[in-house]
Amino acid sequence: MEINTREQKPLKTIREGEAEICLTSDKVFYNPVQEFNRDLSIAVLSSFIDDYKADKTNRLKTKFKAKDTNDNTDQIIDLENPQVEFEILEALSATGLRSIRYAKEIKGITKIIANDLSKEAVKTIKENIVHNKVQDLVSTSHEDACMLMYQHKMPSKRFAAIDLDPYGCPSIFLDSAVQSVQDGGLLLITATDMAVLAGNSPETCYCKYGAALRILLQCIEQHANRYSRYIEPLLSISADFYVRVFVKVHTGAIHCKKTTSKLSMVYHCVGCGHLTLQPLGGFKPNPTEKNPNQSKAFLPIAPPVKEMCEHCNQRHHLGGPIWSAPIHNESFVTKVLMHVEDNPELFKTSKRLEGILSMVREELHDVPLYYTMDRLFGRVHLETMPMLIMRSAIMNGGYKVSYSHAAKNSVKTNAPGHFIWDIVRTWEKTHPIKPNKSIVDLTERPDANPISRRDGRLRFQFNPLPFWGPGTKASTRVGEEKMSKSTLNQNKYTKKEEKHNKRDHSPPSEDESRKKTINVSDAEA
């Protein structure tokens, strides 16, 4: 492909990883802050691809060995070293930077489709594919992302991995995405606007306490269940202004029945901020002679809390559902971390990757939400306790504690709420609320009552009539033109009916009689 450099002189050249992107238009979106997002995605895919191919190979071998070996000897021999394809779709590609980096920095990829709805973006992607010499791996597509994925929902056409990094909320793409990824394949999804998923209310507790990731995961699981599929979160990150999740998609209607045990409603106390989870379902042992390990689904007793909070006697708000099962796979996170540590030169943000992945690995995976120190102590107007003292107090009580990677001053713990508030009360004994700096005398003074009030004068005017207030704006219009639309439309159907009845019972006009006579004459003729 020959590019006319005189007409298409690059406005900007971007170098990231092993890719070099030339932008010839300022209408194509590029966000440099997302370099960490792209580095993390490359580390995850590099760690995932070998596991995916090994799993696919084992499935193929099992499938063919189950058949008659006499008729399939050649196929079994061919499967000793099968060539498992790994095709990636970047549904919203923009500059094509992510796809080009995938092609140049990840080994084992068979094909990448870089799609965008913008003609200008697709043109830029094509030019950069040639510029980076990755035509053998990357191809372009100018399609609506949802329609493109729906075209690949058949098992033989599905992608091994789908990357969704929209500008805003990914909700409109989830239905098509969960259908068009291979069984055991990977979805990489970014959300920069959680208002669509979580509701735009500041009172919803699950928006305030680190549940953004869990809201997105619940939404993906909900879409997957419609097609007898379910998700397995491998890694879930909250960073900067967005959340990023990496989930495997599996097929199995029987496993979808377990979804209710992974979701919970959240009761949030408006006073002390205490959180109580209400699982939507659960499983209990139900052994039989044939299957001693059999379990049975059950619905939990609700609600788990009283109307008023047991700690501060304030009301609860209800939020959810959220994903309350683990949001990380610890062994997979360890594998990604080791890949970054072994190849720091491949990632400009390697230090940050190592730090966040280390924190993720340390998190308590069976504790869904967390406290924040400033909010916890701010509710009772106390000086915030040092983090190490708080963590020590929890551990001294025999409970577990960790940070959350999503917040610097977070406390994730399996300690009950009453124990946390006991720690706060103990802290208050040695760090009481600071006294007022000014001396305040609350003795009532006679001269505090003004003379006008003492004399009983009418000081504040009461409304003399109901709906007292300024009149309507002056207008030169009169009659019906002056009426508001709502006034004009009052009883409009009744008025039409009365007009219709009046017309039917009134004698016909001279013109109508003449018209009727002409019509009758024509008919007789």
Q: What is the predicted pLDDT for the residue at 205? A: 36
Q: Say yes or no to pLDDT of 207 above 60.
A: no
pLDDT digits (tens, 9 = 90+) for 111-137: 999 999 999 999 999 999 999 999 999
The CA R_g of the chain, rounded to the nearest whole Å, is 34
Q: What is the predicted pLDDT for the residue at 495? A: 67
Tell me the pLDDT band of 91, cut-offs 50, 70 and 90.
very high
Cα separation, 115 vs 146, in Å, equals: 11
Cα separation, 173 vs 91, in Å, equals: 9
Tell me the pLDDT band of 73, cut-offs 50, 70 and 90.
very low
Tell me the pLDDT band of 449, cut-offs 50, 70 and 90.
confident
Q: Exposure of 434 by Cβ count < 10 A (0-12 exposed, 13-18 middle, 19+ buried)?
A: exposed
| Cα distances (Å, whole numbers) of residue 14 to 35, 162, 369 | 11, 24, 39
Q: Say yes or no to pLDDT of 455 above 90.
A: no
Q: Say yes or no to pLDDT of 183 above 50.
A: yes
Q: Is 21 helix (H, G, I), strand (E, B) or coil?
A: strand
Cα separation, 159 vs 173, in Å, equals: 15
The answer to whether 184 and 155 are in contact (CB under 8 A) is no
- Identify residue 395 by its one-letter amino acid code: M
Cα separation, 82 vs 258, in Å, equals: 34
Point out the least confidently predicted range of 116-130, 169-183, 306-320, 474-488. 474-488
- Identify residue 114 by its one-letter amino acid code: A
Q: What is the predicted pLDDT for the residue at 55? A: 92
Cα separation, 199 vs 169, in Å, equals: 12
Detail the DSSP E strand segments found in 157-228: 159-164, 181-191
Q: What is the predicted pLDDT for the residue at 212? A: 84
Q: Mean pLDDT across the chain, nearest whole number?
A: 84
Q: What is the predicted pLDDT for the residue at 486? A: 56
Point out the least confidently predicted range of 161-175, 191-205, 398-412. 191-205
Q: Say yes or no to pLDDT of 523 above 70.
A: no
**For residue 340, what are its two tokens?**
């970054």
- DSSP code, position 421: H
190 C-beta neighbours (distance < 10 Å), count = 22
Q: Say yes or no to pLDDT of 411 above 90.
A: yes
* Number of residues that make up the chain: 525
Cα separation, 266 vs 271, in Å, equals: 15
pLDDT digits (tens, 9 = 90+) for 235-288: 999 988 889 999 999 999 989 989 999 999 999 888 888 889 999 998 888 888
Q: What is the predicted pLDDT for the residue at 461? A: 66
pLDDT digits (tens, 9 = 90+) for 24-62: 777 777 778 889 999 999 999 999 999 999 999 888 877
**pTM score of the predicted model:** 0.79
How far from chain centre, in Å, is Cα 330?
22
Q: What is the predicted pLDDT for the residue at 2? A: 43
Q: What is the predicted pLDDT for the residue at 159? A: 98
The answer to whether 231 and 174 are in contact (CB under 8 A) is no
Q: What is the predicted pLDDT for the residue at 203? A: 43
Q: What is the predicted pLDDT for the residue at 352? A: 95
- Identify residue 141 by its one-letter amino acid code: S
Q: What is the predicted pLDDT for the residue at 265? A: 92
Q: Say yes or no to pLDDT of 450 above 80.
A: yes
- DSSP code, position 17: T
Nearest to 299 by CA among 318, 276, 282: 282
**For residue 361, what are its two tokens?**
């690995």
How far from chain centre, in Å, is Cα 281?
22
| Cα distances (Å, whole numbers) of residue 307 to 34, 269, 304, 315 | 44, 10, 10, 6
- Bond before 166 cis per omega within 30 degrees: no
Tell me the pLDDT band of 234, cut-offs 50, 70 and 90.
very high
Tell me the pLDDT band of 465, cut-offs 50, 70 and 90.
low
Q: Say yes or no to pLDDT of 77 above 50.
A: no
Q: What is the CATH number of domain 370-433?
A: 3.30.56.70
**For residue 183, what are its two tokens?**
């069984």
> Going by C-beta distance under 8 Å and a sequence separation of 6 or more, which residues neighbour residue 188?
41, 44, 45, 161, 162, 163, 164, 165, 244, 245, 246
Q: Exposure of 439 by Cβ count < 10 A (0-12 exposed, 13-18 middle, 19+ buried)?
A: exposed
